[in-house]
Amino acid sequence: MAVAVLGDIEYGDVFTRRWVVEAILDLVGYTDDRDLALMKLVEPSIGSGAFLVPVVERLLTSAQAYGRGWTEISSAVFGLDLQAEHVKTCREKVSKLLKEAGANADEVKMITDCWLRTGDFLLDEVPGPVDFVVGNPPYIRTEDLDDKVEAAYRNRWKTMRGRADIYVGFYERSLGLLASGGRLGFICADRWMRNAYGKNLRGLVVSGYAVESVWQMHDVDAFEAEVSAYPAITVLANIPQGSATFVDTTKIFDGQSAREVLDFCNDARTEATGTGWEGAKLPSWFETDDFWPTGSPHTIKLLERLQEDFPTLESDGTTRISIGVATGADKAYIFDKDLGINVEEGRLLPIVMANDIRGGTLKSPSKVMLNPWDSDGRLIEISDYPRFAAVLGSHEAVRKRFVAVKNPATWHRTIDKINPGIAERPKLLLQDMKAQITPVLEPGGFYPHHNLYYVVSSSWDLEVLGGLLLSRIAEAFISAYGVKMQGGTLRFQAQYLRKITVPRPENIPENISEKLRQAFRDRDRDAATRAAEQAYGLPAGTI
């Protein structure tokens, strides 16, 4: 169960389907062939018992097989919920199971008193250490919390930063409860894996825990109610990181599919497909608090290998990825060069815009920018340039900008500085939003506008690098780490471009470099991909 604030659901019960619960219990190893009376399990948000009932059923079967008495199982389970009516409902369901198993009234009361509490998992006492934490944490945005409660949560749970949903705190506390070898299994939103607010939680996981399984279930009917929460089954363990199983699913994924995946998790196959799913076993997990990737298991496995074997684009120290200049008032700063703007020498900077590369090649840029920065990157003294001041000052919006109001003496500055020497250097340009990765060579002479990202390098022949970036291998990095807009449009921002790993240029044979160079010149994405596979040492057709 999860308390939800999604769509039309507000603090309502969202019940997890039985087959999802059974799969999670199997994944964490809570199976009735083990002596479960000797182990401890916590369910942090019991709701109406979607997890608790199967847990108790397995515990009672195990207890009978191992000859355990009622007192021996009384500390094996601990479940709590904020809402007293949920605890009452679960008490009734568990009491029925215990009576059917032969417990008398006193024994039922003793056990249910030990197992079930009304309370706040993030603030109240919870016994530990434990062997298992399982469940479906609440989906509540922090802005929907009482201010005092939110402050208490954030003060206690250091992973709850930024716009973190409450489930982030549930992960942190649950991990802290795990004994050595203990496992956490949640069906929960996976946004924390690739959003800024999940950085601290990702850091916590990679600092001392292992990612064992991630089943991406965004389109799966995993709940009794419709919930748009990008759910995933995630299993984390208090052990050193070993191999990890990554599974992607489609909307036809169901209980039978889950059993197929469980078989895959337990056998020797490294990749497999089944009814509504495909999976891959990674040798390890991504050892970073930066974004974790998403996509097909085949792609995730490929990226994990490439990141293990090759350096990132900027790691050579001479290659730089950046964004073009934001002026804060384009209508005041940017003009068509044919207008013949009358300003002092050196105050007009040729600029390249997104429209100049939209077709995949560079057309002759036609814009210039009023440049308030000198060749050393210092803001000019506006009194030394009266014609420049007159043209820029004729636009009322310039002086009303926040940057101008805050510092009236520097009202003429752009939001971003102009970096000295960038305009003159050859560079690869990429549009911020585009359906496919499409690097374009600008041979030098123009400064990029702010909706363009650019790559400059002293190490690379930019046409060879352009061939690598044109390939579907480079695009796979962006697709896995970046934000997808409506219609599948990708965002080619610096933070995602920096995730791309590449062979060192000196390690690429000249014949392969020439293939990459020619593919880039021809704008041939297929040829670029084939040449890139050779450069990375990958079999033909890998991607």
pLDDT, tens digit, 9 for 90 and up, residues 210-247: 999 999 998 888 776 555 568 999 999 999 999 999 99
In this predicted structure, the answer to whether residue 422 has a pLDDT above a threshold of 60 is yes
In this predicted structure, the answer to whether residue 3 has a pLDDT above a threshold of 80 is no
pLDDT of residue 8: 35
- Average of per-residue pLDDT across 111-133: 96
In this predicted structure, the answer to whether residue 475 has a pLDDT above a threshold of 60 is yes
CB 150 within 8 A of CB 192: no
136-192: pLDDT as tens digits: 998 777 777 888 999 999 999 999 988 888 999 999 999 999 999 999 999 998 989
Domains of the chain in start order, with CATH, are 2-239 (3.40.50.150), 320-536 (3.90.220)
**Confidence tier at 408 by pLDDT (50, 70, 90):** confident
pLDDT of residue 224: 60
Spatial CA neighbour of 91 closest among 135, 48, 50 = 48
**CA distances from residue 340 to 325, 425, 463 in whole angstroms, order as listed:** 22, 25, 34
- Average of per-residue pLDDT across 191-196: 89
Of 3-7, 361-365, 507-511, 512-516, the one with minimum mean pLDDT is 3-7
pLDDT of residue 282: 94
275-324: pLDDT as tens digits: 999 999 999 999 899 999 988 999 999 999 999 999 999 999 999 999 99
What is the CB neighbour count within 10 angstroms for residue 387? 12
- Average of per-residue pLDDT across 319-332: 95
Spatial CA neighbour of 215 closest among 477, 28, 489 = 28
Q: Model-level pTM?
A: 0.82
Contacts of 145 (CB under 8 A, 6+ apart): 153, 166
What are the strands, taking DSSP E only, across 411-479? 427-431, 433-434, 440-442, 447-448, 452-456
The mean pLDDT value of the chain amounts to 92
What is the phi/psi pair of residue 61, to 5°?
A: -65, -45
Task: Give 5 or 395, the one with higher predicted confidence.
Answer: 395
Of 13-17, 128-132, 288-292, 346-350, the one with minimum mean pLDDT is 13-17
